[in-house]
Structure 1
Amino acid sequence: MEFLILLKSITKRSNGKGLSWLKNRLTEYIRGWIGYYYVADMKTFLQRTEEWYHRRIRCYIWKCWKRVRTRFTNLMKCGIGRWRAWQWANTRKGYWRIATSPILKCAITNDGLVRQGYPSLLGIYTKLHSN
């Protein structure tokens, strides 16, 4: 449970530290925690937690794209069509709700998050568990 509490405090939307700090801090914390507990069989726990974790990161990224223009251009860069990007950039839905929208899931995929440098809970776990 302490893992989720600390993970929640790292990914607070109001910390204002930026995405590079977030990536470094998450990598450091997740590797340390999984490295300590990797002997335990916690695959199902990590699967459930990873869904929440990816939603939390999407929420953080959406908050970083504060302005409508920034959201619009970034959604376009992620491959979303012009009209759909404009609609979703102007949405009034909250951060947590928009993080599960089909548009944001399409724009910021789980594989895309890993490619950008965000650590994968199951990836680190399977890498340590296979050795």
Structure 2
Amino acid sequence: MHLASLEKPDKKRRSLIRLGIEQGQAYAWSRTRMGGWAVAQSPILGTTITLNHLKQRGYLPLSDIYQQITPNKRDSLFLMT
């Protein structure tokens, strides 16, 4: 989603509804005058963009990637022989 397209309240409202927010709450949140940083720290994004939603979109948690690429301490590389 392009940042300039989110400057219009109607686009924000439609996007929030698409993410599963009720229409009344989406209307109120779309009319906020908070800046991008304030919105990111508010319940607006915390309740709309969840880990489950990101996983459904194909994003992987960094902790899962780290565990896949980091050798386990029980592997032979870490054993003192």
- Give yes or no for TM over 0.5: yes
Q: Which runs of 5+ in 1 are unaligned?
A: 1-18, 20-60
The structure that has the greater radius of gyration is 2
TM-score under structure 2 normalisation?
0.70
Equivalent residues of 1:76, 1:85 under 8 A apart: yes
3-state SS in 1 of match to 2:7: coil
Q: Which has the higher helix share?
A: 1
2:8 matched residue in structure 1:
67
TM-score under structure 1 normalisation?
0.46
Equivalent residues of 1:68, 1:89 under 8 A apart: yes
- Aligned-residue RMSD, C-alpha: 2.2
Equivalent residues of 1:80, 1:103 under 8 A apart: no
Which has the larger displacement, 108-117 or 85-94?
Answer: 108-117
3-state SS in 1 of match to 2:41: coil
Matches within 5 A, 1:49-128: 63=3, 65-128=6-69
Same amino acid, percent of matched pairs: 32
Distance in 1 between the 2:52 and 2:19 partners? 13
Letter matched to residue 58 of structure 2: G
**How many angstroms does 1:130 deviate by?**
5.8
Q: Which runs of 5+ in 2 are unaligned?
A: 73-81
